[in-house]
């Protein structure tokens, strides 16, 4: 599939554009060629090398476009042949945009499970910009989640390094390529009880369909576990369901979650909208009409 898409892109570009794709560093040229040949993992390795070299803005853009093409092969599963160590059961990297009535902010988190326990974890942007550096405790060494709150915007596309050390002192590391953040806001409030979801454009995507995660929190305990939650991966709802909770004010969030892989590592790109709501959900207009009928 990648080869067909790649050839289509090449044919669609003017001659000058085709030359630009194959100009620049040897690593960038190699990444293009390996992907065209169907060697996705080798293309990934060449992309990692290309990110470590000096790049023009055009080469930077080509690298992000090339990663998107490589992911389209099988949603990124063949990007890397590096497997997780026996002591690491799962690894998830999540980039999240949160939109509330008062502000928009950005979160980045790494979470997973380890049967042996994790002693330390670090995540840094090449060459040496640390985002996450943490020593884990007994409370979270097996089920861990480490977060970084970005100030200026979503964590950008580029090359990153992930390093973990188990409680037994075993080290594991992986290069990580982050794709370009989604430029379009795909979910937004319609009114206080409903929201809009943009139609899916890439109907032939090899990735799973986006799913919706709805969560209800106590107004004073947003950092705690939700008191109600529901996930939907089909027929995504666009309005608040009936929730049986005591009268009061709550914090309600809806997240549209898209997934892809880099070999054994799962990536989640999340767009979340959240606001304060009053429950139970009563249609005041309908209530007024009923009173008029009486």
**Which DSSP string do the residues of 268-288 spell out, in sequence order?**
EEEEEEEEEEEES---HHHHH
* Strand ranges inside 127-241, DSSP E: 129-135, 143-150, 158-166, 171-178, 187-191, 194-197, 211-218, 228-232
Contacts of 102 (CB under 8 A, 6+ apart): none
Largest Cα span, the chain: 80
CA 105 from chain center: how many Å? Answer: 15
Residue 71 has pLDDT above 90, yes or no: yes
Quick check: 153 and 137 in contact, CB under 8 A? no
Relative orientation angle of helices 2-12 and 57-71, to the nearest 10 degrees = 140
Average confidence (pLDDT) over 180-199: 92
Residue 67 has pLDDT above 80, yes or no: yes
219 SS3 class: coil
Least confident segment among 106-120, 149-163, 250-264: 149-163
DSSP label at 183?
Answer: -
pLDDT tens per residue, range 12-56: 444 344 445 555 458 999 999 999 999 999 999 999 999 999 989
Domain ranges of the chain: 2-71, 90-178, 187-259+273-284
Residue 114 has pLDDT above 50, yes or no: yes
Give percent above pLDDT 70 in the chain. 85
Average confidence (pLDDT) over 65-84: 95
Closest to 254 (Cα-Cα) out of 234, 278, 233, 270: 270
Residue 283 has pLDDT above 80, yes or no: no
CATH superfamily of 90-178: Immunoglobulins (2.60.40.10)
pLDDT top residue among 202 and 57: 57
pLDDT bracket for residue 281 (50, 70, 90): low
pLDDT bracket for residue 270 (50, 70, 90): very high
Quick check: 126 and 173 in contact, CB under 8 A? no
Residue 80 has pLDDT above 80, yes or no: yes
Average confidence (pLDDT) over 195-206: 85
Give percent above pLDDT 90 in the chain. 71
Q: How many other C-beta atoms lie within 10 A of the C-beta of residue 290?
A: 10
Q: Report how far residue 43's alpha carbon sits from residue 125's, in angstroms, rounded to the nearest whole number.
A: 20
């Amino acid at each position: 599939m990648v080869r067909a898409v790649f050839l289509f892109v090449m044919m669609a570009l003017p001659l000058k554009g085709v030359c630009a794709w194959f100009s620049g560093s040897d690593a960038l040229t190699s990444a293009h060629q390996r992907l065209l040949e169907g060697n996705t993992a080798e293309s990934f390795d060449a992309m990692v090398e290309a990110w470590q070299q000096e790049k023009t803005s055009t080469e930077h853009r080509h690298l992000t476009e090339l990663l998107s093409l490589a992911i389209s092969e099988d949603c990124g599963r063949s990007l890397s042949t590096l497997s997780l160590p026996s002591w690491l059961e799962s690894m998830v990297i999540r980039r999240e945009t949160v939109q509330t009535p008062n502000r928009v902010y950005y979160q980045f988190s790494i979470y997973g499970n380890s049967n042996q326990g994790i002693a330390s974890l670090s995540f840094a942007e090449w060459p040496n910009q640390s985002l996450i550096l943490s020593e884990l405790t007994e409370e979270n060494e097996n089920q861990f989640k480490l977060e970084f709150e970005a100030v200026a915007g979503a964590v950008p596309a580029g090359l990153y390094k992930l390093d973990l050390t188990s409680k037994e002192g075993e080290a594991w590391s992986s290069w990580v390529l982050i794709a370009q953040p989604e430029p379009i806001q795909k979910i937004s409030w319609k009114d206080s009880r409903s929201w809009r979801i943009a139609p899916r454009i890439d109907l032939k995507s090899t990735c799973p369909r986006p799913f919706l995660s709805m969560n209800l929190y106590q107004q004073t305990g947003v950092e705690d576990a939700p008191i109600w939650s529901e996930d939907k991966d089909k027929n995504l709802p666009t309005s608040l369901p009936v929730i049986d909770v005591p009268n009061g004010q709550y914090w309600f969030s809806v997240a549209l979650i898209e997934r892809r892989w880099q070999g054994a590592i799962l990536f989640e790109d999340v767009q979340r909208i959240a606001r304060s709501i009053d429950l139970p959900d009563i249609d005041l207009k309908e209530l007024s009409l009923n009173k008029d009928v009486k």
